[in-house]
Amino acid sequence: MRRPLKQLTFAVLIGNRGFFPSYLVGDARKEAQEVFSELNINTIMLTEQQTNYGGIETYQDAKIAAEMLREHRDEIHGIVVLLPNFGDEKAVAEAIRLSGVNVPVLIQAQEDELNKMGLATRRDSFCGKISLCNNLRQYGIPFSLTTQHVCAIKSDIFKQDLVNFEAVCRVVNGIKGARIGAIGARPTSFNTVRYSEKLLERLGVSVETIDLSEIFAAVNSLKDDDIRIAEKLEQLKRNADTSRVPEDKLLMMAKLFTVISHWIIENDIDMTAIQCWTSLQNTLGINVCSIMSVMSGQLLPSACEVDVMGSLSMYALSLASLKPASIADWNNNFGDERDKCVMFHCGNYATDELKDPFMTTADIIGTTVGCENTCGAINGRMKSGPLTYFRLSSDDFEGKIKAYVGEGKFVDDELDTVGCRAVIQVKGLEELLAYICHNGFEHHVAMNHSSVANVIHEALSKYLGIECYRHK
């Protein structure tokens, strides 16, 4: 069980070329140390004793840098390349290739000043960046670019580029080696959430399964005075107002939460997808929604209806934004407003994102299993604000994992309904929905209050080899 990293470590490689002033490398090194420290990013750099000013210019420098990268392989989440002057177009690329370290790479180049274009002060990094990128492409090394072609290390725009690059690295590092817990079988009517474990394994993602019968047996074996139950009960009560729910139902939820949490820890699970109906209601007389809400709020996402790809979508969104993500249905039109729609689920949303959340029954499922057996659903309306929506899907017919991502906003338009709901506005929504339908995506989507569509698109399409449609 891995929580999203809040502090990352970047290897910082500084290019140099002897035709240009080498002292600029030393200046860049000092400025980088200040900026990365300000942003709470750990760095690994060559020292001024290892190479001239700590830069990389020759093949011998590249070998020294490659050895540094190999030595810290397990610590490095990304590589940032700084070009304070033109830089040798081969040396930095050689260093990365020789190291064998496979992490995201960000290329920065320092801007020239018009009053410093003489031989003693000119940089030509503008040109050197193009040459380095050409070599990286020849070597098959994927890389990211700064927002501006050239920018100062201490500039606000480069600092924001580093923040975005951190998010890209969290997504890439988080998905590689991720472990999904599939609890129970998918509802028989939901062919839509079928997925390929083999395609996930190729991505480096493992799925651990457990039958609900094992969960139920473990719940029944727990004694009411187990100290773990009291802890889980407190978490459920902190998550939302529980005054409408009987204590015996809350106790059963806490027992189920205890068993699920134990299994998650024992199996190093990063996210879960749970069979949320109707076996749970018929056997334990409760809904699992509130438990899923708590876990998602802890950045351990949990998706309904054994939607494994949905849980991975939530996980990536949480990694990118460091905020809870929820899973929802693209559920209803919003009158005649074609750029708006209603997002809905029975009651699983992370409550930090909701207005006045409270625990209640899931009345839709209650029509078939009895409302008294559906205690545990969260009722609440999404707060207004920025929206990122995201969906991963495994396509067995084409043998690939694919995705779509985009942004919009949660709006406060009046809506009289129950459960977890939101009204969202997305430009070109009709075109997006057509894309979803034509390409066989599921009716579920991950969403939260963030603006990280570009981050997710970059991480997936550039570093994880996933075809990702960016809706604009």
Q: What is the average pLDDT value for the chain, to the nearest integer? A: 95
pTM listed for this prediction: 0.96
Q: Is 419 helix (H, G, I), strand (E, B) or coil?
A: coil
pLDDT (tens digit, 9 = 90+) per residue, 263-318? 999 999 999 999 999 999 999 999 999 999 999 999 999 999 999 999 999 999 99
The letter for the amino acid at 405 is V
Angle between helices 91-99 and 125-138 (to 10 degrees): 40
* The residue type at 313: S
Sequence-separated (6 or more) residues with CB below 8 Å from residue 164: 454, 455
**Pair 10, 16: CB distance under 8 Å:** no
Structural domains in the chain, sorted by start: 9-175 (3.40.50.10940), 179-470 (3.40.275.10)
Q: Residue 41 in 3-state DSSP?
A: coil
The pLDDT tens digits for 381-402 are 999 999 999 999 999 999 999 9
Q: Residue 296 and residue 323: Cα distance in Å, rounded?
A: 9
Instruction: Please identify which residue in the block is written with the tokens 């009291």.
Output: 230
List per-residue pLDDT tens for the chain, 472 residues long.
Answer: 677 777 999 999 999 987 767 788 999 999 999 999 999 999 999 999 999 999 999 999 999 999 999 999 999 999 999 999 888 889 999 999 999 999 999 999 999 876 766 665 677 899 999 999 999 999 999 999 999 999 999 999 999 999 999 999 999 999 999 999 999 998 888 899 999 999 999 999 999 999 999 999 999 999 999 999 999 999 999 999 999 999 999 999 999 999 999 999 999 999 999 999 999 999 999 999 999 999 999 999 999 999 999 999 999 999 999 999 999 999 999 999 999 999 999 999 999 999 999 999 998 999 999 999 999 999 999 999 999 999 999 999 999 999 999 999 999 999 999 999 999 999 999 999 999 999 999 999 999 999 999 999 999 999 999 999 999 9
pLDDT reported for residue 117: 62
Task: Please report the pLDDT score of residue 187 as a whole number.
Answer: 84
Rounded CA separation 244/360 (Å): 6
SS3 letters for 230-277?
HHHHHHHHHHCECCCCCHHHHHHHHHHHHHHHHHHHHCCCCEEEECCC
* Spatial CA neighbour of 234 closest among 216, 220, 260, 253: 253
Closest CA to 139 of 92, 70, 209, 75: 92
Q: How many CB atoms lie within 10 A of CB 274?
A: 27
d(CA 50, CA 366): 69
Whole-number Å distance between alpha carbons of 20 and 220:
74
Judge contact between 190 and 442, C-beta under 8 A.
no
Of 215, 213, 240, the C-alpha closest to 351 is: 240
Residue with tokens 């080696």: 177
* 264 neighbors 273 (Cβ within 8 angstroms): no
Give the residue carrying structure tokens 């603006």: 451
Q: Of 410, 365, 368, which is closest to residue 385 (Cα–Cα)?
A: 410
Q: What is the CA radius of gyration of the chain?
A: 25
Phi and psi at residue 282, to the nearest 5°: -75, -25
Q: How far apart are CA 22 and CA 33, in angstroms?
A: 18
Q: Which helix (H) or strand (E) holds 131?
A: helix 125-138
- Strands 78-83, 105-109: parallel, antiparallel or unpaired by DSSP? parallel
